[in-house]
Each structure stands twice: as structure tokens, then as C-alpha cells.
Amino acid sequence: MYRYFLEVAYNGTAYSGFQVQDNAPTIQAEVEKALAILLKQKVELTGSSRTDAGVHALQNFFHFDISLPKEAISLYNLNAILPQDIVALNLYKMDGEAHCRFHATARAYKYYIYQTKNPFLNNRAWFYPYHLNMELLKKAAQVLMEYSDFTTFSKRNTQVKTYICKLFISQWEQEKDCWVYHVKGNRFLRGMVRGMVGTMLNVGREKITLDEFRAIIEAKDCTKANFTTPAHGLFLQSVEYPAGLLGEK
């Protein structure tokens, strides 16, 4: 039996999230279906990072076990079966103990907003035509680096043992026509990035002060955060592993 990591990217607009759900299209369901057609057997996938409905990914991973050698798994043929909004990027032959979720050391996300109407950014960024104090917005991103308990930014009914996360990067930057929130951490809670972005934007619009922003974080109460941020502006940029973990392509 061999273990493989499958690297994928996708536009999440048409999907109800990453993980398999009953009676709803998901990324995992589409990839499992395509692999079953290609390999003529059922393949059960384990995902590295779950993304919510409508969220995109430039890089995400699955792992699966199968008795077939790597030469029998054609990415070209797999991509011919997959829908146009999902692509298989790479296949890695791994050590049998490698786990795409538990061995990941960091995930990086970017959230895109734009302030001048642009049809080419539709479904890939959030149109946000309000005045923003960018200095305050940048300071709010740095405030997040002071904390490790992100209970406030976790949606309800999240089944996790801890709300502790370590952020490595938290910053706003400009990329062409967009303002982009770039965040990297060892793990993220359900809805966490969108909750942070929505609440920071209240700082940028001067609806709340930085002190009030800190109080919201310290309250550990998700009802105080702003989760109205739409999914289509969010991209999972990368999933990182220890050097040398990924096997041969």
C-alpha cells in the first residue's frame, strides 16, 4: 500500500465547502469521484485544511492510500475528469506515516477587497466602496499578533479542543487594485479569517477604536465579532510542511 499527497487548487464559488457533505457539492466529493473513475476503485481522501462554502484555494492537499504505483495515477487524465474549477497540481509519493493535516506546520490566507467597481474582480474579491483609514487598519492587523486565544473569531458549534492559534504574519498590503489582508498561522478556526477581516474593517471605517478592537478580542465572545465578510474574497494561499517531508513528485 502506498500513500500519496495530492496537491489541488480550486475556485470555490460553486461548492458548499471542502469536506464531503450530504446532498451538497464539495471539493472533496468531486475529487473522490474523479479518482474513482480514473482508478476504477473507491478512494477515501483526508484533507489538510477545510475551507468554507465559496472560499477558494491556490494550494490545498489531500492524502490517500492505494496499492497502485505512482505511474498508474495520471494527473493529465485526472484533470480531464475533474470539473473546470478544480485542478490537480501535483502528486507526491509519501512515507506511510505522513499526514497532510497533522504534519502541516502553517497555513496562509489572503482576503481581497476592492473599492472601485471592477467586473473582473467579481467573485474573487469583496467590493467595499467605503472610506478606510488604512493606518488604523494596519495597526489592527498588528494588534492581532499580540494574541493567541481567538475564541472571539470562531463561529459557534465549532468542535475544537482549543481556540489557541499562533500567528506568524498579520498585515494589510496593496496588490494592484486590491487591498489584501495577509495572515499566516499554525492553525485557523472556523470562520476565523473572515471574522478578523470584518472586525478590522470596522476599525478602518472608524466605527470602533483600537482599544475597542482589543476589548472584542479579549471578550472571547463570537457575537461581538463581525462575520458578515463574504466568502468569495478569501483564498487559502498555501499549506506548509517541514522541509523534506514532501516526497518525490
Give the catalytic positions in this structure.
Answer: 52
DSSP, residue by residue, the chain: -EEEEEEEEE--TTSS-SS-BTTB--HHHHHHHHHHHHHTS----EESS---TT-EEEEEEEEEEESS-GGG--HHHHHHHS-TTEEEEEEEEE-TT--TTTT--EEEEEEEEESS--GGGTTTSEE--S---HHHHHHHHHHHTT--B-GGGS-SS---S--B--EEEEEEEEETTEEEEEEEES---TTHHHHHHHHHHHHHTTSS-HHHHHHHHHHT-GGGS-----GGGEEEEEEE--TT-S---
Amino acid letter for position 117: K
Amino acid letter for position 227: F
Phi, psi of 167 (to 5 degrees): -90, 135
CB 61 within 8 A of CB 7: yes
